[in-house]
Chain A
Amino acid sequence: MPRGRLGIIGLFRMPILTPNRFKGKLIVVEGIDGSGKSTQLSLLAQWLRSQGLAVAFSEWNSSPLVRETTRRGKKKQMFTPTTFSLIHATDFADRQERFILPMLKAGAIVCADRFAYTAFARDVVRGVSPRWVRNVYRFAIQPNLAFYFRVPLEVALGRILGGRDSIKYYEAGMDLNLSRRIEESFRLFQGRILEEYDAMAEEMGFHIIDATGSIEEQQARMRQIVLEKLSEAIASGQILQKESSYRAHAAAAPVL
């Protein structure tokens, strides 16, 4: 889907995130568990690196600063929808302030596995107000590219339930009391998150990738979109790269 289509409504819509005024670019992937987004992002990052570009990687819920707090909350099941949402926002803020912003300023391509959109989908399913959680993340840098890996629920569930031995309490949305059986709860929870992603896809300008296709097909599509979107920034030398003298032609057409 083409992005950046500013209709009349789009023109008057308040920007919900912070514009990226830096040299670097932010690429994010979203999708429910089992959509294959992490696999695709790591293939993309590897390819970008092989082109001599500076790539930084950041994963949802990975800040060492809040790790202990998150662990305590999960272990003792202390989270409410509001505190669950806020601790993830704290985690993201720490990664953005400490890592993502400096990397963007330096001119790197920052690849983020999950982003604020995860909160917009998941926290809303948990019951927090969509308006409130969108405001919480207003400090987040607007991605230059947001990929949404759309996959039917049953396909994703097949990948997850086959491949892993246990689903955790909050992952399955057990705090929502959807079902006492963890697999059933997981199924219902993921189904609702999927609906939220679909509902916001247009508003957020997601590039939708059909995640039922082969891994190769999806990756080729992703690279094509990245080239379309970033080739100018690469060619102009805005993005930090290995050999600056090589910049002009190497960047014009990296090989797929």
Chain B
Amino acid sequence: MPMQQPLQFYNEPLPGIDTGELQGKLIVIEGPDSVGRSTQVSRLRTWLEQQGHAVLDTGLARGTLAGKGIQEAKEGNTLGSVTMTLFYVTDFADRLENEIIPALRAGFVVLTDRYIFSLMARGIARGEDSVWLEKLAGFALVPHAVYYLRADVPTLVSRVVMGRGSFDYWESGMDMHFGADMYDSYVRYQTRLIRALDRMGRKYEFQTIDATKPADVIFRQLQRSIGGLFARPARKRK
């Protein structure tokens, strides 16, 4: 796996940021809805803290600027797909500039539950132009590692039904009416999302983890790989 040292921007540097000052680690957990990301993030956080690392965990639509606005917008009756993409990217920029970068500067491990890839996948699944999306989110930092928790649609369906017990409007892509009802729409939308993430995985060098396995197995796999991120720079030179 390639290590960037120092961190880089994908495409368009943010004004006024010196990436040479960013000492921490940026670790991304990606994957579709209900795949078990948040379980892994919280276990990883505990483990990393036990190892003596300071951890910031963050995720989509959690920023102080736009998080609340996004929640409210999703409760309303009209939210166009380009508008939704831009609103989420606004939130992402806010968290990147005001939480993630300051934390990296202070040497934290930043664990992020989804990154620009989910935003892009949602846009692509809704028919937006992938080149537009890539340039739009081009100010994102290239993470030290992206772990893609991957499961097929039948697995996701069974987790939704056995877990929450009902399909979510947005997770089913009902704004686009991909199918006659929530189930049909969910299946088609999640299929498109997974396809978009798979394609990005090759381009952006995701480490794919089979998320149909038990949570403990996934956790050990993540531990091993993340452990390696910390070992490497110490051995370098001298």
Binding site for B on A (CB under 8 A): 65-66, 68-69, 72-73, 78-83, 86-87, 89-90, 93-94, 96-98, 126-129, 131-132, 135-136, 138-139
CB under 8 Å from chain A, chain B span 57-91: 64-66, 68-69, 72-73, 76, 78-83, 85-87, 89-90
Contacts of A127 in B (CB 8 A): 15-16
Give the CA-CA distance A93 to B81 in the complex, in Å.
9
Is B15 within 8 A of A81, CB to CB? yes
Is B83 within 8 A of A83, CB to CB? no
Closest to B97 in A: A80
Contacts of A132 in B (CB 8 A): 12, 135, 138-139
CB-based A-B contact count at 8 angstroms: 94
Give the CA-CA distance A69 to B64 in the complex, in Å.
9
Give the CA-CA distance A130 to B69 in the complex, in Å.
27
CB under 8 Å from chain A, chain B span 24-81: 64-66, 68-69, 72-73, 76, 78-81
Is A94 within 8 A of B12, CB to CB? no
Is A129 within 8 A of B12, CB to CB? yes
- Shortest Cβ gap from B30 to chain A (Å): 22
Between A and B, 22 residue pairs with Cβ closer than 8 Å are: A65-B87, A66-B87, A69-B69, A72-B68, A72-B69, A80-B94, A80-B97, A82-B93, A83-B65, A83-B66, A83-B93, A83-B94, A86-B86, A86-B89, A87-B66, A93-B83, A94-B79, A96-B82, A97-B81, A98-B78, A132-B139, A135-B135
Given A81-B15, A135-B135, A98 and B80 contact (CB-CB distance below 8 Å): yes
Report if B136 contacts A (CB, 8 A).
Answer: yes
Contacts of A97 in B (CB 8 A): 80-83
Binding site for A on B (CB under 8 A): 12, 14-16, 64-66, 68-69, 72-73, 76, 78-83, 85-87, 89-90, 93-94, 97-98, 129, 132, 135-136, 138-139
Is B93 within 8 A of A68, CB to CB? no
Is B65 within 8 A of A78, CB to CB? yes
- Shortest Cβ gap from B72 to chain A (Å): 7
Given A93-B86, A127-B16, A78 and B72 contact (CB-CB distance below 8 Å): no
Contacts of B14 in A (CB 8 A): 80, 82
Give the CA-CA distance A215 to B223 in the complex, in Å.
70
